Chains A and B, each alone.
Chain A
Amino acid sequence: MAEIDIRHVRKSFQNLEILKAVDLSIRTGEFIVLVGPSGCGKSTLLRMIAGLEEVTAGDIVIDGKRINDLAPRDRNLAMVFQSYALYPHMTVAGNMSYSLRLRKFAQDRIAAAIGEASRVLGLTALMERRPRALSGGQRQRVAMGRAIVREPQAFLWDEPLSNLDARLREQMRAEIKKLHRRLGTTSIYVTHDQIEAMTLADRIVAMDAGTIQQIGTPADLYDRPANLFVAGFIGSPAMNFLHARMASETPTRSALILADGPRMTVPETLGLQAGQAVIVGIRPEHIVVGDAAPRQTGVAGKTGTGAGEAIVDLVEPTGMGAIVHFRLDTVVHKAYHLGRADWKAGDHITVHFPTERLHFFGATDGRRLN
């Protein structure tokens, strides 16, 4: 188990900069999830930690020791690949014991180690099978087993669940979490799926375009996204954004003018000059829709105060609730409505944006204001 320090790490291929000075401290036993869209550099960072990619600049330090120049095999890390990368010509037992055999462990210790791991993962009956005779979920388990028998300093997970179907993904996600609770080994997990990030992480590292956008607990990223990118990336359906301009500000309140005309007053100070542009965000699940919308404080529609009227564009029932697409002026927004939603396209509804649920971002730099 180990602390991992990423200090000012950069990576470039020829003239293309893939990672721009990344800093990250991972505590012993922590489960860190690197999340971001494809091409954001998260996999590259993981592969640099593993030793599969050269570090262009900066240091990677494990337990106080710089490991930049160590070969992958000398780093004592284990990795679970997206493709599982199981050795097709070896049995499950062979796959799991390969690293121990390479390290010349005694037979009985190898047997004990893979026996224990296979029991934990429920693979005992499959030990003599070849990978091609296994289902996707079983292969995934073998890949995990191969990683845990080594008792490495840390686990590296490279999108391990993306080749599984939705149901299995959900199940394996829970197993990974239990496994971490049981072993307590430092883990770095790469995914593009924000649900995986939210459910697994002690801390999430949201990345985009080669830089870290925000580091924090899942609740931090959900409740107080540091910028527009994180706000838009975490949460599904994604956060709605409305363009607005600052009208005036008092020490306790701000008045904003929305792009389509109405004003709203919020109990926040945003530190902006009058006339400056601002982007207002609200998560779909925080919008109150329909007849239930209380006509109180808030903003929407043409009226400018309280709840406003909107026109239903589309309703997507999810069973548990429904995603209601509605048109405010010309822009379509989404609301997540718990319970039945019997509206049809063209219906008029009331929508209510509770002011305590609003997020504010600078229009130019995208940074959080409140």
Chain B
Amino acid sequence: MSVVNQPTPKPLRQSPTRRLATAVEPYLYGAPVVILVATVMLVPLVIGMTYAFRDITLLNPFSGGFVGLANFRKLAHDADFWLALKNTVFWTAASVFFQFVLGLILALLLNRPFAGRGIAQALVFLPWAVPTFLSGLDWAWLFNPVVGPIPHWLVALGLMSQPENILSDPNLAMWGPIVANVWWGIPFFAITMLAALQSIPRDIYEAASIDGAGAFERFRAITVPFLAPTIAIAILLRTVWIANFADLIVVMTNGGPADRTQIVASYIFTTAFRRLDFGYASAIAMVLLGLLMIYSLLIVILRQTLLARF
């Protein structure tokens, strides 16, 4: 077979410069990302930390001087901040709890094959695609007795004496953003759990049922231990994320009524955006960052000890 003549190869000798080029190649590919992220996130982060020790108010030409720990001292006595911190814990705990429980149930439902599963999956995950500001507005409207059905349903169920907007009730207002957040966030947990569920080998379940394990026993002895690491990671990340997630609150209640829905993240935003007090906003942000880091560390330690035990 000699249809093709030998092509004349143009040898590319691997000179030292070429070797160097090979060595720097991956850095070249990674450099744009690193430069972008460093300049837009890391540099501002460091600068923001210096703001915390300065008096920086936009539109005030005399501000900018270093004030030491004044911002933090003010923070310690700021009742709004402590209320926001309390609200943050409630907001985060309730949101994560319901997102997780309902997401896990959804994942278990979807892990079972049935006709139309693909369509069902696309539909139940749809809220995740809804822009957050829009889901906030949408739920605000649903809670509004003028155009929304929810107050009327609550009256019909006897849970409310007359149709009112729970977003304007200081005692209930926080549930508005929480419901919106749960609705919007269930798919995240469901998808994560579903992926983990699908990575459990089928034959382990088959072996267990042959060994005589019932449905509940299989769930307890196989599903839960297999899911545990994913659950731990997902809850950790989600908690940090939700604690920082101010969009829904800014859109639905703007912290009101009477600051009863103000969380730390939305408080930072309000301080920076409305009062233009960047120094104080940065001080709050640093405290929030510190708290979240402590929380993450605790979770990681807890996870390590649990893993070591089992």
Contact = CB atoms under 8 A, between A and B. Distances in A.
A245 B9 CA distance: 60
Determine the main DSSP class of A at the interface with B. helix
A151 interface: yes
Which of under 10, 10 to 19, 20 to 34, or 35 or more describes the interface residues of A? 20 to 34
Contact of A116 (B1, B13, B14): B1
B3 interface: yes
Interface string B1-43: 1111011011111100000000000000000000000000000
Contacts of B6: 76, 151
A109 B3 CA distance: 7
B12 A70 contact: yes
Determine the main DSSP class of B at the interface with A. loop
A103 interface: yes
A113 B3 contact: yes
B14 A71 contact: yes
B3 A116 contact: yes
A150 B9 contact: no
A342 interface: no
Nearest to A117: B1
Nearest to A71: B12
Interface in A96-113: 100, 103, 105, 109, 112-113
Contacts of B1: 116-117, 120, 148, 151, 182-183
Interface string A99-138: 0100101000100110011001000000000000000000
A75 B4 CA distance: 17
A75 B11 CA distance: 8
A69 B13 contact: yes
A182 B2 CA distance: 11
Contacts of A45: none
Given A148-B1, A183-B1, A70 B11 contact: yes
A109 B12 contact: no
A165 interface: no
A59 B305 CA distance: 52
A109 B13 contact: no
Nearest to A109: B4
B14 A151 contact: no
A116 B10 CA distance: 26
Contacts of A365: none
Given A69-B14, A70-B14, A71-B14, A100 B9 contact: no
Interface string B82-106: 0000000000000000000000000
Interface in A211-268: none
B276 to A, nearest CB: 55
Contacts of B3: 109, 112-113, 116
B13 A70 contact: yes
B7 A105 contact: yes
A291 interface: no
A204 to B, nearest CB: 27
Contacts of A73: 12
Nearest to A149: B4
Contacts of B9: 74-76
Interface in A177-228: 182-183
B48 to A, nearest CB: 41
A333 B12 CA distance: 56
B13 A105 contact: no
Contacts of A182: 1
Interface in B154-177: none
Nearest to B1: A116
A103 B7 CA distance: 8
A151 B2 contact: yes
A74 B7 contact: no
A369 to B, nearest CB: 47
Contacts of A100: 4
A69 B7 CA distance: 20
Contacts of A71: 12, 14
Nearest to A112: B3
Given A116-B3, A151-B4, 10 more contacts: A69-B14, A70-B11, A70-B13, A74-B11, A75-B9, A105-B4, A117-B1, A148-B1, A149-B4, A150-B4
22 contacts: A69-B14, A70-B12, A70-B13, A70-B14, A71-B14, A74-B10, A75-B9, A76-B6, A100-B4, A105-B7, A109-B3, A112-B4, A113-B4, A116-B1, A117-B1, A120-B1, A148-B1, A149-B4, A150-B4, A151-B1, A151-B4, A182-B1
